[in-house]
């Protein structure tokens, strides 16, 4: 079963948008952390990580295994759950590609921010369903955090 709605704190959203603009025209990437309460996800924190893709970073991103292990440790240290990954699509819609889908993991929310002319634009979130297809989550800014 997939979560249908997800909230994001203003600060986490700002971190993602700023990272996307700084990395432009390359793709940025990072992890998101938070809590699941009553099947609703709340993203409280976003932490950028290095796009370690060798080659064309304008259309690809990759996070190293060591960065991933660090992210799991961060979640423990913060007392939060590792809820997913964000990345940017420079000059491209905030929709997942087939390339995104085949590498995606269950449970994680995949946030994608579009960047147009170096300015962040649409921000969407997706999660794999049981058929390994992406389903868009309803992303709202949290009023509480």
* Site for another protein, rule CB under 8 A: 27, 29, 53, 59-63, 65-66, 68-69, 72, 75, 81-83, 85, 87, 89-90, 92, 96-100, 102-108, 110
Nearer to another protein, 55 or 144 (CB): 55
Q: Name beta bridge partners: 128.
A: 134
The first and second tokens of residue 30, run together, are 């990072």
Q: Which of 40, 35, 51, 20 is nearest to 115 (CA)?
A: 20
Quick count: other Cβ atoms within 10 Å of Cβ 98? 8
Nearer to another protein, 10 or 105 (CB): 105
Minimum CB separation from another protein for residue 6, in Å? 15
Minimum CB separation from another protein for residue 7, in Å? 19
Nearer to another protein, 107 or 145 (CB): 107
- Cis status of the peptide bond prior to 143, with omega within 30 of 0: no
């Amino acid at each position: 079963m997939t979560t249908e709605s997800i909230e994001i704190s203003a600060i986490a959203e700002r971190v993602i948008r700023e990272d996307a603009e700084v990395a432009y025209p390359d793709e940025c990437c990072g992890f998101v952390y938070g809590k699941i309460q009553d099947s609703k996800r709340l993203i409280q924190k976003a932490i950028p990580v290095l796009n370690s893709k060798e080659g064309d970073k304008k259309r690809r991103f990759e996070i190293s295994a060591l960065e991933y292990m660090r992210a799991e440790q961060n979640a423990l240290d913060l007392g939060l759950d590792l809820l997913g990954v964000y990345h940017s699509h420079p000059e491209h819609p905030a929709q997942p590609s087939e390339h995104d889908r085949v590498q995606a993991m269950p449970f994680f929310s995949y946030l994608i921010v579009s960047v147009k002319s170096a300015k962040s634009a649409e921000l969407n979130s997706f999660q794999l369903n049981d058929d390994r297809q992406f389903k868009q989550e309803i992303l709202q800014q949290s009023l509480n955090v």
